Structure formats: structure tokens, C-alpha cells
Chain A
Amino acid sequence: MTERTIRTERPWSWKRFFFQWEWLLVIIFILIHVVNSTLSPYYLNINTFIRTPQSFLDKAFIVLPMTFVILLGNIDVSVGSTVALSSVIMAVAYNAGLPMPLAIVLCLAVSTACGLFNGILMVKYKELSAAIITISTMTIYRGFAYVILEDQASGGFPEWFSFLGWGNIAGFPVMLIVFTVCAFLFWILLHKTTFGRSLYGMGNSMNACRYSGIRTDRVILIVSLLTGLMAGFTALFLTSRMGSTRPNVAQGYELEVIAMVVLGGVSTSGGKGRIIGPILAVFIVGFLSYGLGLVNISAQVLLIIIGALLIVSVTVLNVRIRKRKKKIPA
């Protein structure tokens, strides 16, 4: 043993602790509440925080796996179509006589299959970019939804199905509870397991992982599968809230979801960011739109604000990375 020893702990640094993107998100989050409460005297109320999320949490389920996708340096724009297809198939199957519990299972099965299909294409045809593959499947899945239901609505679900989107358990919305559980599971998966570690590694250097014996194809398949599954969750909650479905539901969800992930500080080049950021971003965007609703500003303005936030976040994050890369030359 030599005398010099590499230390296994590093001193606590306030810079490292406070110079994190997530703190900025927390500040924005608080600011939004401050602004909202000045707009409406009834805003600051515990009920606001518990009830409001019901209005925006449906797409948040996809934000979780989309974080994984973007950490890998990939992108998936087919999720909105996946939601539509699985929702439509569930409605049509139910109206054709399938019992609702089985229709729900079918919905999740279809969405998972959609995700897995993306994954298989990505693994089989590595020369194609994930963007191209999912743009194709985006139109395919949406196309199938239209073929199955044509331009109609389908609904008439049993009474208890609306419980998913509207109901409460012990005073908390079902949706919020399920989302919290899912978020927790995804957090564990990403930050505590070997799977999460491989994911980060692959986002940073696919080749280094391959040469280190990581089963990279398997990781990609699992991520795609999870993306599909969570799109199925979104389909369930969305359909439950609306009471019926059409082939054009969840249009544009993919972009909103990707925007939230990027706003959450996940680098689009892969490998950087934590899941807490996108989760915060979900609530920021959600409460922001709620606040705009309070002062009767249309949803289109929200798009402008989200766009501006995105540009800010991407610029700030990139400047930070560029600064770090400015190393002293040897």
C-alpha cells in the first residue's frame, strides 16, 4: 500500500449545493404562487394545491419515462398518438362488449406494445435516429386510431370509471396519489438502481457502456416499454376525465411533455439531469396555466410563456456546461 490515498468523500461545498438548476425551478415555482395569490384572494388555500393538479396531471405520467428517453439522448414524439390509440381501442372494445376492467388492461397492453415496437425498431435499426422512428410511428398509431373509430367520439363508460379522473381517496385525488407513487418509483429506478446508472452511462457514452458489458439494447427496450406503459396511464386518466374519447385526443402532448423535461434541466444531448427537475416543471407549467386561467388569459399565451421558459432554460444550462468545458489546456 502506498502512502497516498484517494479520498472517498468530498467536502461540502455551498456552491455545488446551491448552483443547481432545481433551485431555480423551486424559485420559479414559488414566484408563480406569489403572483397567482395576488391575482385571486381565494388562491392561497390548501384545496388549490390538492385539487388543481387534477387538471394537468394526466400528461405528467409520460414526463417520467420521457426523462429516461431524453437522458439516453433519444426522443419520443409518438407518445401522444400512443395515448390516442390505446384510449380509442379501450373505448371501442368496451362498447363492443368487453368488460371495463379488461378494457383497461387492453388499453395498457396496447400502449405498452406501441412503446415496445418503437424500442424494437430502435434496437434493430441503430442507424435510424429515434426522432425519425417515432415520427413514423406517431403517424402510424394516430392513423390506426382514426381507422378504428373514424372521426367520432366513443364513450358511455361505467360510472365508476370516472372515479379515476375525478375521485378522491382520503381527501386526495386518485390521480395525484397514483402520480406520486409513480414518480417515487421512477425516482428510485433512476437514482438508486443499476438500471438507472446504466441509463446515465449510455446517455454520456453509449460506446463506453457497450465496451463495459452493459446490455444496452435491453436498457433501450425497457425504457421504450415504460414509455408505452405510462402513455397508457395517461390514456386512462385522460379518458376518465373526459368521459369519452376521439382519435384526435392528446394531440401535441409529445411536445408539451418534452418541453417539461427540458425545462426540468435534462440535457437533450443526454446523460445530464435528474428526475426531480421535470417533476417540478410539471407543477410549474400546471400552476402557471391555472394562474393564467384566473385572469382569463387564453391558453395560447401559455404556449408563448412555455416557449420563452424553454429558451431560457436551454441557454442557461448550455452556458453552464460550456463554462465547465473551458478547461486549462495542457
Chain B
Amino acid sequence: MSEYILELKGVTKDFPGVRALDDVHFNVRTGEVHSIMGENGAGKSTFIKIITGVYTPDAGEIIYNGKPAVIRNTLDSQRLGIAAIYQHVTSYPDLSVTENIFIGHEKYNPYTRRIAWKELHARAAELLGQLESSFDPRVRMGSLSIAKQQIVEIAKALSVNARVIIMDEPTAALTNRESEELYKITENLKNNGAAVIFISHRMVDMFRLADRVTVFRDAKYINTWNRDEITHEKLVKAMVGREITQYFPKRNVHIRDEVLRAEHISRLGYFRDISFSLHRGEILAFTGLVGAGRTEVCEALYGITQYDEGHIYLDGEEIQIRHPKEAIDKGIGYLPEDRHGHGLVMDWELFKNISLALLEKFSRWKFIREDDEKKSAQELGDKLEIKAGTVFDKANTLSGGNQQKVIVAKLLTADLKVIILDEPTKGVDVGAKTAIFNIMGELAEMGYGIIMVSSEMPEVLGVSDRIVVMKEGRISAVLNTEETTQEEILHAALGEKKKVISHAE
């Protein structure tokens, strides 16, 4: 009997023109959480797909339970007892929780061949109970929150007695509290003898959960450490291959006069009585739990949705924004949270994406001037250091960080005063995050007023000047970043305290 339940030795995978995995080693014991970390494109996804049988390796061997295993397809991996839970839940939203758990291995009444619903529902409830969740397994999957859907996916893994459970970025879409619940569940799984492979961008996840951590970089295996052997800095260095001296490059920007002020704006059912002010050169963070109404406020400021009550002032003048076009013309730009769906035309060239927000600037008498577009794309692309070969590169060929830069470039074509960035670092790797923060700092220096919506506490504390904390559609606190702590923000987000600080002029 081997020490490890699953072991990979020298696994290599080639795709035309790219080596996606290069001589990778990995192992995991039962009753262990083994975290895999690496930047986007480091090979994590390919690695999972090798284990789950989506891809077959070109070289190297997989040893399962002490014996060499051949995993040719996903069925093979399921038979071995390997289950994966993905970041984007891959379920059937219109089926019930029970159906989602037992799909493919339903239980039948042996005589009538009918599905034994009663038994399945009871078994589903039992599995959910093991995961300390008590919702009704008869409800539609789609009506559950992402966090609960993930619990269902885990229950599904349990239902087939999976011994190796892979979790791919499970916390990406969760709030802190939901993540905490997921941690507990994961620990339970581990204590019950499962081997958990936990893939995440988030350092917190790793330090909170993992027994060991393996780092990949540029398709290569870098090293494996025990949790207590490694520090935050060492880990970041291993992931990016260079030392990031200042994770949050906060600049000292002189904060100038007020540019935007919202007074008591409300939208029925979404947010209530929101008042804040934003100054030139300031980075104002909006934080709170997911669903606290941050995005809704931003969308109302940008004219995607409307507000029912209240006033918005830009440079002291009251403005009405009924459409994003009006927002852009008046000087408010917005980087949406969903960059694939809302931020970019994914199948479009760089220069077309960049000019889209202000076509009239790149046209004369409504006739488009492509040369202007391309030149501007080149200039902005170079300025923001977008990694692309030509301005004809399609948005979907770029990495997450570079896509985000393209959207920023798009905003910069307009003559803006206020830039709203909604979760600008979501799904972006460490190096690109720093680049985005640098850009934000530069923009602040140039005199833009910046609103950043973010759920990442260190990020909020690291880059902002002031922090607006929202809770259930209302502002629960406005805090001065220099004087506040993570705990204070959390209290405000959970609604245990009210404190408002304005600028000390």
C-alpha cells in the first residue's frame, strides 16, 4: 500500500505549439487537503483535466492507490473515485437538487423500473445533512445560491463515494461567509478520509485550508511545501517567478476637489438612501457582501438602470443619467464586473473593442476612420502595456488581465472624470493584478475620481483612500482606509456598527 492515494510522475501534455504541462509531479494522501496554486495559464486546468480524464497525458504516469492507472476518459476517473467540482457549477438548473446529485446513477424500483424518488430524496437530504446543510432536496437547482449549488456538487461527489475530490476555484464566486462554510465542509471531507485537491487563486484559501501546497508556473512544476514551511511572500514569488515587493502599490496622490456627489439615491428593491462623495485623485472602494447592492448603485450611476429618488451632482451640477451614453458624455465610465459578457465583444479585434465606447470620436460625418482607431488602440495599448501582437488580435485570445486593460483603454478614449471599476481584479492573476492597481494609481494621479467595487479585503485596504461599506442595499459605514482595519470593515458589512467619516478638509 502506497502512502499516497493519487500520484502523478513526470506528466507532460502538449498541444499544437504549446506545452501545457511539462514534467509535472504531484501526490496527495487520504485525509489531506493539497492546494495547487499558480497564475492563470500556469497549467492548473490542464492538470485537472488529466486527472479527470478529459485529456490523456503524452508522457508520465498516474499511480492510483499504489497501482499504475490509465485514465482514458472521464468515466475511467469516475470509476476510480475521482470527482471534480468546478468554479462555474456545471449542473442542470431546471432539475431538482436530488436529480442533480443522482443523475447518471439513479436508483430504480427493481420491479416497476420507476425511479425510487422517496429513497433518493431521503438519501439526498442525508448527504446534505452530512455537509451541514438542511435545504430541501426537492427544490430546483437554479433557485439556489452559487454556494449552495456547490454544496450540491459536493454531495454528488459523496454520493459516488469519491475518494479524491478536486475543487477548482470553488471560492471565486463566494462571499467570505460562504467561503468559511465551504472551508468547514472541506475539512469534514478531509477528516472523513477523502483526499482533496484544492485549486485557488486566493492566498487566504490556501493558508486556511491546505496541508500542503504545490505551485505551478508556466506549465512547470515548481515545488511542494508544507503549509507551515511557506510564507505569503515566498508563495507569491514562487508563483510569479519574481519578487513582488509591494503587492498593493498605493501611491500618494494629492486628493483634490469634489467631482461626484450622490445624495440619498434609492432604487426600490435594490438600494436605499445612498449618499457619498468622490474627489478627484481619490480611490473610493465600495465593499460589502455579494448582493449588498454595490453593483446596482454603480449601474444606476452609469445609466444602465435608473434610480427612483435622490440627486447626483457632477462638478457641483445636478445631472440626470438615463442611458450609458449620457454617462460617458458627461464623464462617467464603467468597467463592468462581467468582462466577457458586458465588457468586451469577445470575438472582436482589439481596436474595434477600444473604439466602441466613443465611435463618434473615431469617425467623421458618421464615417468610421479605421486608421484613427488603430492608432489610438496602439497608443493606449502600449501605454497600458497590453500584451498583444497587433491591434487585430481578438479579445478572446488575450489573458484576463490583458482583457481588463483593453476595457480600461476603452474607457480612456472618452473624456472622463469618474471611472467606476466593478471587481477589476476578479479572475486575474497576481502579476496582472499589480498592473491593474498601478494603472488605477496612475489614473488617480491624472485627476480621475475612481470608484472601485471589490470583495477582496486586502485589496480594498491596500489601494483605496476611503471605503464605503454596504449592507443589504444601504451604506453601513464610510471608513477612512488609513484608520480602519479588516475587522471593522467586516463588522460594518455584517451590520453591527455604523460609522461615517467624511474628509477632514
Contacts and interface: CB of A to CB of B under 8 A. Distances in A.
Is this pair of chains taken from one and the same complex?
A: yes
Given A194-B368, A208-B342, A330-B46, A6 B391 contact: yes
B377 A8 contact: yes
Contact of B325 (A7, A9, A208, A215): A215
Interface in A273-326: none
Contacts of A194: 359-360, 363, 366-368
Interface in A191-235: 192-198, 201, 204-205, 207-215
Interface string B369-391: 00000110110011101101111
A194 B368 CA distance: 6
Contacts, number: 121
A213 B327 CA distance: 8
A41 interface: no
A204 B345 contact: yes
Interface string B265-305: 00000000000000000000000000000000000001010
A8 B366 contact: no
A207 B389 contact: no
Contact of B323 (A201, A213, A328): A213
A201 B410 CA distance: 14
Given A211-B343, A330-B46, A8 B323 contact: no
B304 A211 contact: yes
A196 B356 CA distance: 12
A197 B336 contact: no
Contacts of A124: none
A208 B16 contact: no
A283 to B, nearest CB: 28
A330 B44 CA distance: 8
By size class, the interface of chain B is 35 or more
A4 interface: yes
B76 to A, nearest CB: 20
Interface string A159-192: 0000000000000000000000000000000001
Contacts of A47: none
Contacts of A204: 345-348
Contacts of B348: 201, 204
A10 B20 contact: no
Given A193-B366, A201-B345, A205-B346, A6 B41 contact: no
B352 A213 contact: no
Contacts of B324: 210-213
A8 B389 CA distance: 9
A213 B357 contact: yes
Contact of B41 (A4, A198, A211, A330): A330
A205 B352 CA distance: 13
Contacts of A147: none
Given A6-B377, A6-B381, A6-B386, A330 B45 contact: yes
B470 interface: no
A8 B336 contact: no
Contacts of A329: 15, 20, 45-46, 49
B17 interface: yes
B328 interface: yes
Choose among A4, A192, A211 the residue with the greatest number of B CB atoms under 10 Å from its CB: A211
Contact of A198 (B17, B46, B359, B397): B359
Nearest to B355: A197
Interface string B1-39: 000000000000001111010000000000000000000
Contact of B382 (A5, A205, A327): A5
B341 interface: yes
B357 A7 contact: no
A272 to B, nearest CB: 8
B50 to A, nearest CB: 11
B366 A7 contact: no
A7 B391 contact: yes
Contacts of A6: 350, 377-378, 381-382, 386, 388-391
A152 interface: no
A328 B17 contact: yes
Given A194-B368, A329-B15, A330-B45, A214 B356 contact: yes
A1 interface: yes
A192 B45 contact: no
A45 interface: no
Contact of B378 (A8, A195, A198, A271): A8
B392 interface: yes
A213 B391 CA distance: 22
Nearest to A11: B390
Contacts of A4: 382, 385
A315 B335 CA distance: 37
Interface in B295-342: 302, 304, 323-325, 327-329, 334, 336, 338, 341-342
A5 B390 contact: no
B451 interface: no
B391 A8 contact: yes
B143 to A, nearest CB: 20
B150 interface: no
A197 B342 contact: no
Nearest to B357: A212
A8 B359 contact: no
A7 B382 contact: no
B464 interface: no
Choose among B43, B325, B389 the residue with the greatest number of A CB atoms under 10 Å from its CB: B325
B418 interface: no
Nearest to A3: B382
Nearest to A191: B368
Nearest to B336: A211
Contacts of B345: 201, 204-205, 208-209
Contacts of A198: 359
Interface in B182-241: none
Nearest to A9: B390
Contacts of A215: 323, 325
Nearest to B339: A208
Contacts of A193: 363, 366-368
Contacts of A211: 302, 304, 324, 334, 336, 342-343
Interface string B435-471: 0000000000000000000000000000000000000
Given A1-B382, A208-B344, 17 more contacts: A6-B386, A6-B390, A194-B360, A194-B367, A201-B345, A204-B346, A210-B304, A210-B342, A211-B302, A211-B336, A211-B342, A212-B324, A213-B324, A213-B325, A213-B327, A271-B347, A328-B16
28 contacts: A6-B350, A6-B377, A7-B390, A8-B377, A193-B363, A193-B367, A194-B360, A194-B367, A194-B368, A201-B348, A205-B341, A208-B344, A210-B304, A210-B324, A211-B324, A211-B336, A211-B342, A212-B357, A213-B325, A213-B328, A214-B325, A214-B359, A271-B347, A328-B16, A330-B20, A330-B40, A330-B45, A330-B46
Interface of A: 1-2, 4-10, 192-198, 201, 204-205, 207-215, 271, 327-330
Interface of B: 15-18, 20, 40-41, 43, 45-46, 49, 302, 304, 323-325, 327-329, 334, 336, 338, 341-348, 350-352, 356-360, 363, 366-368, 374-375, 377-378, 381-383, 385-386, 388-392, 396-397, 410
Closest 8 interchain pairs by CB? Answer: A213-B325, A194-B359, A213-B324, A8-B374, A6-B381, A330-B41, A212-B357, A212-B356
